[in-house]
Amino acid sequence: MQEAGQTVNDLPLDDLIAQARQLVTHASSLCVLTGAGISAESGVPTYRGSGGLWRGIDAGDVASPEGFRCDPQRVWQWHNERRMALKDVRPNAGHQALARLQRALEARGGRFVLATQNVDGLHQAAGSRSVLELHGSILASRCSVCDERREIGFEPVADLPRCPKCGRLMRPAIVWFGEMLPEDAWLAAAEAAATGEVFLTVGTSAVVYPAAGLIEIAAGAGARTIEVNLEPTAASTRVGLALRGKAGDILPQIVE
Ligand code: BV8
Ligand code: ZN
């Protein structure tokens, strides 16, 4: 039990996992937000941690509309390299635990919503269904002008792919800084966070908005909130249970 002055998060990790398991397995509605940390154990680099994707380069150059306008070749090259690096990457135990959790919860008539900031498609590869891709997908391209969209998978694309419909430049189907999130995905995620009984955030530093705002929406609506992350995040003081460790270790214990 907690000593005086201690918070629940000072309890041993096993106790916290037991409490999280209790909440998650009895929830009738659960909303999950994931970030790059859940794919780290699959070998996909995160953005801000050590070895992060954005170490040494300015995100604005390769993850903003201005960067694309300024040097589309460089942006496509950077995305081609990321996609080809994803070719041999597999979902890990963390992705698989969330896919199992969705099946179990839905089998007993519960409501499960998974919103991810990741663009790597690993939740879908693990069997998760109806994944809300808040920041789009690196495995697709879309026209920079019309609504044409093409799945491109892991294959390299021509230097500067052109839209088959209107001839303009195709771009990665990713949400860049300063761009709106896909409205349907965002609204579904915000509604799930506002109405869910339990909210679980996994592997995100919680610094990018509006995605990180889902944690506040859930907490503000009275949901029980749980964080699974390797290190403290901008949301750690806002959640009820903060579990420190690897998603691939902790999630299977919560879901088992
Ligand atoms: C918008 C492209 C405007 C995809 C990305 C000032 C204050 C507040 C907000 C703003 C501001 N100035 C501008 C803004 C808005 C801006 C924003 O939030 N900026 C932040 C950085 C300050 N947001 C936007 O621009 C968004 N759009 O606001 O629209 C608007 C409004 C109205 C009308 C018109 C327009 C768009 C945001 C999307 C940007 N796109 N990337 C790509 O290239 O991949 S963001 C980028 O960060 C990725 O998408 C990524 O998903 C996202 C979040 O990163 P994380 O997933 O959290 O990854 P990170 O590396 O940071 O953390 C990983 C964590 O995992 C770490 O904590 C680590 O400890 C942990 N971990 C590691 N290993 C493990 C682990 N945990 C568990 N297990 C492990 N094994
Ligand atoms: Zn077009």
- What is the number of the ligand closest to the CA of 143? 2
80 within ligand 1 shell (Cβ under 6 A): no
176 in Cβ contact with 143 (< 8 Å): no
Rounded Cα distance, 219 and 198, in Å:
9
pLDDT at 109: 97
214 within ligand 1 shell (Cβ under 6 A): no
Residue nearest to atom 2 of ligand 1 (CA): 176
95 classed as catalytic: no
Residue 184: how many other CB atoms lie within 10 Å: 9
Condensed to tens digits (0 to 9), the pLDDT of residues 99-150 reads 999 999 999 999 999 999 999 999 999 999 999 999 999 999 999 999 999 9
Ligand 1 centroid to Cα of residue 190, in Å, is: 16
47 within ligand 1 shell (Cβ under 6 A): yes
**Pick from 132, 129, 246: which is nearest to 193 by CA?**
132
Domains of the chain: residue spans and CATH:
1-43+90-135+181-256 (3.40.50.1220), 45-85+136-174 (3.30.1600.10)
- Amino acid at residue number 231: E
pLDDT band at 68 (very low <50, low <70, confident <90, very high): very high
Residue 60: how many other CB atoms lie within 10 Å: 15
Tokens of 251: 């999630």
Condensed to tens digits (0 to 9), the pLDDT of residues 183-242 reads 999 999 999 999 999 999 999 999 999 999 999 999 999 999 999 999 999 999 999 999
Ligand 1 centroid to Cα of residue 144, in Å, is: 22
129 in Cβ contact with 106 (< 8 Å): no
Among the listed residues 79, 95, 123, 135, the single catalytic one is 135
pLDDT at 2: 63
Q: What is the pTM of this model?
A: 0.96
- What is the number of the ligand closest to the CA of 163? 2
